[in-house]
Amino acid sequence: MTMQGRAMRGRAMRGRALKVAVVGATGAVGETMLSVLAERKFPVGELVALASERSAGGEVAFGNDEVMVRDLATFDPAGVDIALFSAGGDVSREYAPKFAAAGAVVIDNSSAFRRDDDVPLVVAEVNPEALGRRPRGIVANPNCSTMQMLVALAPLHRAAGIERINVATYQSVSGTGRRALEELGRQTAALLNFQPAEPAVYPVQIAFNVIPHGGDFLDNGYTSEEMKLVWETRKILGDDSIRVNATVVRVPVFYGHSEAVSIETRDKLTAAQARALLEAAPGVEVVDEAVGGGYPTPVTHASGRDPVYVGRIREDLSHPRGLNLWIVSDNIRKGAALNAVQLAELVASEA
């Protein structure tokens, strides 16, 4: 479909019930996408749940209904308006172009297209204007860690110009998938019963441990998860001069990623000024009291909730224009499913 044709198709979506496909509907993110679509009353006229052949024939919940799962390999995408993909990079590379060629707007949660110049990489609260430039009919969802960080940092960047970001992530096992959730539970139970904890998903034990490793190791000594924070930050903020230094750590938490972030800005921002900017920022909730429990954590705040929570906002004692922040969000919900649905809402409302 031509770019003009896609624009006409987008305009035709406004105000009508849409045919929506969720690819990877049986996975953790896919199930949450279905839940968020129902909760936010997205204008779904027909919902198609798609997965691999082995999952076909089962059912998934959509609001008060149960929807039968269909086989992605044999599905004809003609007539689909919006397709939400969360089935991994290989699946996206094979099937997303087919859906786009049939006229759907594809919103892809994998890393398959994030670095492509002709595919916008979009966070709903940060750069929604990028949605208007999608010549291939595909929009990419960022990595969950990048997404939550930039929801918080974008208003500070606009105000003072971020020159450098140092970030250490504390990522929950749900970011690795269902098998990792099961591994953490299994290992925890084993250790509490004085049994050995055998690793299968991770290279070493995750229960009662922290692992400074996410993704694959690259030639520069960083991992692919760390470099995503570098590449994606620059693309989303539209500024290749921003220096990003990242360390990714996997921690024994089921849901919710946390990040210790230090930034250096072009213009001085006080902690009070940063706090005021964040309190006014869409998608952000500030939890920042200098008392025990006056800060966000994955369990007490983020898990199952929409906002990006920010606390421990303070000026960096080691840099005259530095700020430190603690950023927490549900990696499955805001970090993947919610942003995808927010982008679908923007597409559906295009004039």
Per-residue pLDDT of the chain in tens (351 residues, 90 and over written 9): 665 565 555 556 777 899 999 999 999 999 999 999 999 999 999 999 999 999 999 999 999 999 999 999 999 999 999 999 999 999 999 999 999 999 999 999 999 999 999 999 999 999 999 999 999 999 999 999 999 999 999 999 999 999 999 999 999 999 999 999 999 999 999 999 999 999 999 999 999 999 999 999 999 999 999 999 999 999 999 999 999 999 999 999 999 999 999 999 999 999 999 999 999 999 999 999 999 999 999 999 999 999 999 999 999 999 999 999 999 999 999 999 999 999 999 999 996
- 157 is annotated as an active-site residue: no
Please give the structure tokens belonging to residue 95.
Answer: 């099937």
Could you say which of 144, 213, 301, 319 is catalytic?
144
Could you say which of 213, 257, 301, 319 is catalytic?
257
Q: How far is CA 7 from CA 103, 110, 131, 269, 344, in A?
A: 10, 24, 11, 41, 15
The count of other CB atoms within 10 Å of the CB of residue 9 is 17
Please give the structure tokens belonging to residue 3.
Answer: 């770019």
pLDDT score of 14 = 76
- 301 is annotated as an active-site residue: no
- Give the global pTM: 0.94
CA distance 179 to 97: 29
Neighbouring C-alpha atoms within 13 Å toward the C-beta of 97: 7
pLDDT score of 15 = 75
CA distance 179 to 202: 10
Q: Are 105 and 81 in contact, with CB atoms under 8 Å apart?
A: yes
Residue environment code for 75-109, b if the CB has 16+ CB neighbours within 10 A, otherwise e: bebeebbbbbbbbbbebbeebbeebbebbbbbbbb
What structural domains and CATH numbers belong to the chain?
A: 3-141+336-348 (3.40.50.720), 146-331 (3.30.360.10)
Closest CA relative to residue 215, chosen from 186, 259, 192, 247: 247
